Amino acid sequence: MSWTRDGKSGRRGYHHGNLREALIQAALDLIAAKGPAGFTFAEAARTAGVSAAAPYRHFRDRDALLADVARQGFERFEGILSIAWNDGRPDSFTAFGNLGKAYLAFARTEPAYYSAMFEVGVPLEDHPELRKAGDRAFAIVRAAAETLAETMPRAKRPPALMMALHIWSMSHGIASLFARGDEARRKLPMTPEELLEAEFLIYLQGLGFDGMAAAG
């Protein structure tokens, strides 16, 4: 892919190469500037420096473009969560907390992807590859919950799926409100990481987990 940048306007211009990636980058730039609902398919084409008809070579419509952006975002997200979980090392309790920190970090450093992943509202049944990418990312959280649940006596283990959904929801809420890398971020009297860590501890202790025992 070849791009040039106008020194005065800062706009990218697409000349040749990977049109699909050029359009995805244009969509990310527009999401960052206007939000996922703030631009048209034709505007994405103009931002990429191509004709209004060119995007139809790869995407049926604007929703298809946004679904592909979201799919890429979930694939990146999956990789970040996998690194954070690190197969439960150094211990499952610590690694579980690292997943939450990774969630916040992704929202902070990749706000356009984050917005595309969770705010575009494209029907998942129409975009199975997007659904699969999201499911793979969530599967890491579920596997982590299963590993942590196994540190408790069998009779007292909470359902791992329930745990995974709760942890995903907590992380997402704090990320969306307080850890975003865009103007939607709200202020806190503490860091988002500190808030999430406290919420994790309260939640897990409520389920009967002993952090030190789990760490052992």
Residues 117-162 pLDDT 10s? 999 888 888 999 999 999 999 999 999 999 999 999 999 999 999 9
Find the helix or strand (DSSP H, E) in which 79 lies: helix 62-85
Query: Where do the domains of the chain lie, and which CATH numbers do they carry?
Result: 1-59 (1.10.10.60), 62-214 (1.10.357.10)
The whole-number pLDDT of residue 2 equals 36
The whole-number pLDDT of residue 168 equals 96
Cis link prior to 90 (omega < 30° from 0)?
Answer: yes
Whether residue 202 has pLDDT greater than 50? yes
Residue in 92, 175, 174, 107 with CA at minimum distance from that of residue 141: 92
The whole-number pLDDT of residue 17 equals 60
Q: What is the pLDDT of residues 87-118, one digit of tens each?
A: 999 999 999 999 999 999 999 999 999 999 99
Whether residue 176 has pLDDT greater than 90? yes
Whether residue 196 has pLDDT greater than 60? yes
The average confidence (pLDDT) of the chain is: 88
| Across 171-184, average pLDDT | 89
Q: According to DSSP H, which parts of 110-153 are helical?
A: 111-119, 128-149
**Band (212; pLDDT cuts 50, 70, 90):** very low
Residue in 47, 52, 36 with CA at minimum distance from that of residue 9: 47
Nearest-5° Cα angle at 79, 194 to 41: 100
pTM: 0.86
Burial string for 191-208 (b: 16+ CB within 10 Å, else e) reads ebbebbeebbeeebeeee
Q: What is the pLDDT of residues 2-47, one digit of tens each?
A: 333 333 334 444 444 689 999 999 999 999 999 988 999 999 999 9
The residues near 24 (Cβ < 8 Å, ≥ 6 apart) are 65, 68, 69, 72
